[in-house]
Chains A and B, each alone.
Chain A
Amino acid sequence: DTEVTQTPKHLVMGMTNKKSLKCEQHMGHRAMYWYKQKAKKPPELMFVYSYEKLSINESVPSRFSPECPNSSLLNLHLHALQPEDSALYLCASSPAGRRSGQPQHFGDGTRLSIL
């Protein structure tokens, strides 16, 4: 079992639906991340939150909207997605601060399928 919990594990949605992915960690980490991973490819960074503030948006389309309600929770709101957005969405967390060489710890992801 990982220490980063993601829900739901699987999600099927139509292109007009609105849904949200959720991520929770209780390791006291103050940096949290969203990644997208396609089959047989490494994870691709989407967003980074540091101390509950958005630090990086890797030019992600606006149909993906992140939210960090508190230091333990991270959400990804989805709206009007395209079939090419089908992928495994991973959440990760790490300590923040000056020692940026700390490992990120990943959840098991949400498998998203867009019909």
Chain B
Amino acid sequence: EDQVTQSPEALRLQEGESSSLNCSYTVSGLRGLFWYRQDPGKGPEFLFTLYSAGEEKEKERLKATLTKKESFLHITAPKPEDSATYLCAVSTEGVGGTSYGKLTFGQGTILTVHP
């Protein structure tokens, strides 16, 4: 069974204090690993897709990396507006040869950045 575990559950940072969020996964047939940001009362907002070990993606203060067993979301010099829940999800082989990828989500990390 596919499993995705995120840590920590919650993270409080001071503005400008860099840190990392972890996403560990155990899956068969990884098709992609995704990072999403979710603000309260909103749907998840797509951030990054990573497909293979060693791959890195960057967007503003965020950088996502991938190994064979885990992914990190690095936040450099965060600002209060980066406060949100960050979700990691994996897409695996489509069931029965069908043409979609079912997402398995981690429980999320609630990030709070204080001014």
Contact = CB atoms under 8 A, between A and B. Distances in A.
B46 A103 contact: yes
Contact of B43 (A45, A56, A90): A90
Contacts of A97: 99
Contact of B91 (A55, A88, A96, A100): A100
Query: What interface size band does chain B fall in?
Result: 20 to 34
Contact of A43 (B32, B101, B105): B105
Given A42-B87, A100-B91, A100-B93, A106 B99 contact: no
Contacts of A99: 31
Nearest to A42: B105
Given A90-B43, A100-B93, A101-B32, A41 B99 contact: no
Most chain-A Cβ atoms within 10 A of its Cβ — which of B51, B93, B102, B108?
A: B102
A48 interface: yes
A100 B46 contact: no
B8 interface: no
Question: Which 9 pairs between the two chains have the least Cβ-Cβ distance?
Answer: A101-B32, A101-B31, A100-B101, A42-B105, A106-B43, A108-B43, A31-B100, A100-B94, A96-B99
A89 to B, nearest CB: 10
A43 B99 CA distance: 21
Contacts of A51: 99
B53 interface: no
Interface of A: 2, 4, 6, 31, 41-43, 45, 48, 50-51, 55-56, 88, 90, 92, 94, 96-109, 111
B41 A111 contact: yes
Given A2-B45, A45-B102, A106-B46, 10 more contacts: A50-B98, A100-B91, A100-B101, A101-B31, A101-B101, A102-B91, A103-B49, A106-B44, A108-B41, A109-B41
